[in-house]
Each structure stands twice: as C-alpha cells, then as structure tokens.
Amino acid sequence: DAMVIQNPRYQVTQFGKPVTLSCSQTLNHNVMYWYQQKSSQAPKLLFHYYDKDFNNEADTPDNFQSRRPNTSFCFLDIRSPGLGDAAMYLCATSRGGQGNTEAFFGQGTRLTVV
C-alpha cells in the first residue's frame, strides 16, 4: 500500500542522454515536489507543483524540467545529464491548503551518469 511510488529505483544513463524519472501518488495530494539529494547533503528542492501551478526554485538549472499531467503523476526530465547530476532524486507530496502538513516521500531514484 505504498503511497508515493517512484520508478525506477535505480537509473543509469549516459552523459548527455535525456532521462525521465517518474513519481505517482495514491494520496490525492495537491502538492508534488522534486528534491535532489547528493551524498551527505541536505535534500535540495528543485521545484514543486501546487495542483497545476508550477513553482521553480531560483537556482534550479534549466537542464531540469518537470511535468504533471494529472493529480497522480509527476515527472522529472533531465535534458542533458552531466556527471554532477548523479544523485538521489526524491519525490514527495503534501496536502497543501491552509495550515501546515508534513510531506510524504517516495523511496527515491538513484541516478548514475556514466
């Protein structure tokens, strides 16, 4: 009964070859997030969707794009992966709206760039 599902768990891609990571949720949450986490560092927010509204972080490289075709699914596209993009990519959801709620995370996708 996983609530936030990321596929694949492990992804190997070639330098410069576009890659897409996927995330789905069964929680019907309004907000979906993509975080990048490199070893021993804090998870870094790349962008998030509130419903269909896309919110990009100011320092997220243009190489990273996202799509949210419906409430349940969100994709992270890396147009031309570099060696520095190797990381764990975490998808998360939250209810949104008034008040504070916690975010629920998927298991992550470990991206390797060769």
The residues of the shown chain that bind other proteins, judged by CB under 8 A, are 4, 6, 9, 31, 33, 35, 40-45, 48, 50, 55, 90, 92, 94, 96, 100, 102-108, 110
User: Closer to other proteins at the Cβ: 4 or 111?
Assistant: 4
- CA 95 from chain centre, in angstroms, equals 16
The structure tokens 């949450």 sit at: 29
We find the least distance from the C-beta atom of residue 91 to other proteins, in angstroms, to be 8
DSSP 31: E
- Please identify, using beta-carbon distances, which residue of 35 and 64 lies nearer to other proteins: 35
Q: How far apart are CA 51 and CA 94, in angstroms?
A: 11
Q: How far apart are CA 79 and CA 74, in angstroms?
A: 16
Cβ at position 19, least distance to other proteins in Å: 19
Spatial distance between the Cα atoms of 109 and 78, rounded to a whole number of angstroms: 13
Q: Smallest distance, Å, CB 57 to other proteins?
A: 8
Comparison of 3 and 114: residue with beta carbon closer to other proteins:
3
CB nearer other proteins, residue 15 or residue 64:
64
CA distance 21 to 77: 7
